[in-house]
């Protein structure tokens, strides 16, 4: 068995200071542990350069604001801290996790306005999120859970609590031999995977669910801009499940997923076609440019 993420060498940035990896701890009565008052970012560095790191810092701050949890650090300060983590740990191609949470303080009930907000940043070497599916195509189960109405959750925040159904859905998918699970939203439209946005191809044009009911991923935005710059037509719209049979290609996007082709959704098969390959290759060139 591989070592856990709590048992590693290296340094983690916590509230302005570098601490030894194994000493990067919080108290059991930390508010974020009890009430999911936590937001985070996942980022990748390529050859020592974090891709769109400033955009991720801005989104972390915005996620905190949406949870009524103002961060005590500016985007520029977070940028510098992430660079320091890479340097301190000698990382080049790496995954960076920035997280902010309501820490321990005078409150442990639902209300925690008096508790300070802590921020930590860690980085480690990490390969393909989906393993061999990155090249062979991911297999997606269809989750029994639905993405909820944005009037019930802060859908634009990358908040830890919103990933509870993602964990359960991914466990169920993996038990069936799948890589991930596809969510529909509360009205029955196609939404996203557990940690990645989804794209389809029909008659040479790209279709993707409108991201006003779930997180509008930074990689998603990058791929849409990249495709349009290449003269491709991209439709952001509501997609019904019955439309899946009419699509010829499919892929996922995300910082961890990068651009991963999808080979199967439920009983439907999708070949890894030319548009998927072109987008994946173009994205790989872009992040390493």
CB 218 within 8 A of CB 59: yes
**CA-to-CA distance for 277 and 115, rounded, in angstroms?**
48
> How many of the other CB atoms lie within 10 Å of CB of 83?
17
Alpha carbon of 215 to those of 11, 34, 41, 91, 260: distances in Å? 30, 23, 12, 28, 18
**CA-to-CA distance for 46 and 53, rounded, in angstroms?**
11
Write down the catalytic residue from 146, 158, 170, 176.
158
DSSP annotation of 264: E
For the question of residue 158 being annotated catalytic, the response is yes
CB 98 within 8 A of CB 109: no
**CA-to-CA distance for 247 and 245, rounded, in angstroms?**
6
By DSSP bridging, strand 17-20 and strand 268-269 are unpaired
**CA-to-CA distance for 192 and 254, rounded, in angstroms?**
11
CB 159 within 8 A of CB 37: no
Where in the sequence numbering do the catalytic residues fall? 158
């Amino acid at each position: 068995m591989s070592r856990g993420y709590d048992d590693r060498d290296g340094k983690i940035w916590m509230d302005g200071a570098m601490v030894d990896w194994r000493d990067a701890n919080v108290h059991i009565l930390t508010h974020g542990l009890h009430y999911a008052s936590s937001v985070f970012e996942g980022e990748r560095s390529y050859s020592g350069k974090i891709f769109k790191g400033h955009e991720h810092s801005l989104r972390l701050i915005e996620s905190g604001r949406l949870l009524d949890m103002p961060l005590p650090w500016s985007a520029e300060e977070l940028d510098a801290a992430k660079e320091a983590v890479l340097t301190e740990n000698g990382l080049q191609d790496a995954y960076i996790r920035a997280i902010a949470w309501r820490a321990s303080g005078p409150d442990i009930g639902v209300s925690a306005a008096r508790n300070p907000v802590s921020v930590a940043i860690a980085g480690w070497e990490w390969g393909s999120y989906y393993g061999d599916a990155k090249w062979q195509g991911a297999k997606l189960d269809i989750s029994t859970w639905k993405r909820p109405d944005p009037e019930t959750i802060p859908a634009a925040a990358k908040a830890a609590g919103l990933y509870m159904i993602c964990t359960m859905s991914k466990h169920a998918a993996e038990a069936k031999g799948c890589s991930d699970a596809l969510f529909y939203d509360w009205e029955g439209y196609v939404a996203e995977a557990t940690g990645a946005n989804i794209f389809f191809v029909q008659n040479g044009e790209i279709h993707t669910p409108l991201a006003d009911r779930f997180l509008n991923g930074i990689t998603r935005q990058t791929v849409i801009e990249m495709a349009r710059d290449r003269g491709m037509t991209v439709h952001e719209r509501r997609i019904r499940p019955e439309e899946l049979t009419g699509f010829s290609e499919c892929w996922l996007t995300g910082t961890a997923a990068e651009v991963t082709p999808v080979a199967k959704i439920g009983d439907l098969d999708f070949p890894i076609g030319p548009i998927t390959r072109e987008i994946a290759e173009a994205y790989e060139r872009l992040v390493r440019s």
